[in-house]
Amino acid sequence: MVSQFIIMEKFDFNTFSKLKKLFDRSSAVFPSRISLFLCILLASAGIALGLLTNSLAVTTNGLIAGTEILSSLLFLSAVNQSVRAPDYTFNYGYGKYESMAILAGAALLSLLLIYTIIEAVKDFGTPNPVKSHYLLIFFSLASYLIIRKTASFLKSSAEKYHMPLLAYDADIWKLDGYIELCVLFNLVLGTVLAHFGQENSGKMIDSSAAIILLIFSLMNQLKHGKTALDQLLDRTVPENIQFDIIASIAENINRICEFKSVYTRQSGKDIFIEIDIVMPWDYTLEEAYKLEKDIHNILVEKYPTALPRLYVTPCNRDCIHQEKSFCPIKLANEKFKEQISTEKTKNINKNSLNLRYGEKQQQAE
C-alpha cells in the first residue's frame, strides 16, 4: 500500500512538472504553443460556424487557420530543434530547422489554398444564402481581437529570443488580422443586402471575398517561402547588415593593412560572419585577438545573435626597404602616440602656468 502511494505521488509530481514545463513563459517554445492552441480554437469554431451558416468566407478563413495548425506543429518542432546548442554532429547549430519549417509551411499552405480557391469557384454554381449574420459578426469581431493580441505577443517574443521563425509566425497572425477585418466587412455588407432581400447577391460577394482573401494569403506565404529558401541556400545577409559589418571594420582601419573580403550567411537566428584581413607581419597573436574582440563587440551590440570570426593573414613585407620598415600602420600609430604625448605636455605646461599664476595672486593679496 505504501509503495502504491509512493508510485502515485511520484506520478503526480512528474505530471505536474511536465505541465509546468509545458506552460513555462520563459521558454522560447512557449509562444509557439500558444499559437498552436489558438489556431486549433479558431479553426474549429470557424469551420463549424461557416458550414452551419453557408458562409464560404468564414469557412475559408477557418480552413486557413486549419492549415496553420499544421504549420504551427512544424514551427513548434523546429523551435524545439533550433534552440539546441551546436554539437559534434552539427557544428553550426540547428538553425536550419527554422528555415526548413518556414519553407515546408509555405509550400503546404500554398497547395491547400490553391485547392480551396478551386472549391470556392465551384460554389458559384450553387448559391445558398448565408444565415445567422449577427452570430457570424460577433464571432468575427472576437476572432479579430484574439488575432491582434496574439500577433503582438509573437512579435515581442521574436524580438526577445531573436528567432526569425517567431517573427514569421507573427507576420502570419498579423496578416490573419487583416483577413479577419475583410471577413467582418463582408459579413456586415451581407447583413445589409439580406435586409433588402438580396441574399443571392450577398452570397456571391461572400464567395468572391473568399477567393480574394485566399490569393492575398497565398502571396504572403510565397514571400516568406522565398526568404527561407535563400537561407537554406546560404545566400548572403541583407545589404544593411553588410554595410554595418564594413562600418565596424572601418572604425578599426588604422589597425589593418588591407581588408580582403567578408562572407556572411544566416542559419535561423544566428548570423555567421567571416572577415578576411591583412595585418602587419610582426603583429602578435594577442594584438590580432584584441582586434577581433573589438570588432565582435561592435557587431554583437547591433546584432546580438551575430557570430563574427576574424581571419588574419600577415602582410608580404613590401613596406620594408633597406632593412628599414615603412609600415603605414606603425607610422600612423607612432604619429598618433606623438600627438597624444604633445597634448599631454601642453596640458601639463598649462596647468603649471595656472598654478604659478594662482600663487602670485595669493602673494599679491
Neighbours of 148 (CB within 10 A): 16
Among 116-120, 175-179, 242-246, 361-365, the minimum mean pLDDT is found in 361-365
pLDDT-derived band at 8 (thresholds 50, 70, 90) equals very low
d(CA 329, CA 339): 15
Residues found in the chain: 365
Q: What letters, b where the CB count within 10 A reaches 16 and e where it falls short, cover 150-177?
A: bbebbbebbeebbbbbbbbbbbbbbbbb
pLDDT at 186: 86
DSSP 3-state assignment of 295? helix
Closest by CA position to 264, among listed 313, 299, 297: 299
pLDDT at 2: 40
Q: What CATH number belongs to 239-318?
A: 3.30.70.1350
pLDDT tens digits, 30-42 = 887 888 888 889 9
Among 161-165, 172-176, 208-212, the minimum mean pLDDT is found in 161-165
Any idea which fold 21-232 has?
Answer: Alpha-lytic protease prodomain-like (1.20.1510)
pLDDT above 50 (res 11) = no
The per-type count for the chain, helices as H runs and strands as E runs, is 10, 5
Q: What's the grid cell of residue 330?
A: 606603425
pLDDT tens digits, 245-277 = 888 888 888 888 888 888 888 876 788 899 998
pLDDT above 80 (res 239) = yes
DSSP 3-state assignment of 70? helix
Q: What's the grid cell of residue 149?
A: 493580441
pLDDT above 60 (res 161) = yes
pLDDT at 94: 63
> Across residues 58-77, what is the average pLDDT?
75
pLDDT tens digits, 113-144 = 677 677 667 766 566 777 888 899 999 999 99
Tell me the percentage of the chain whose pLDDT exceeds 70.
71
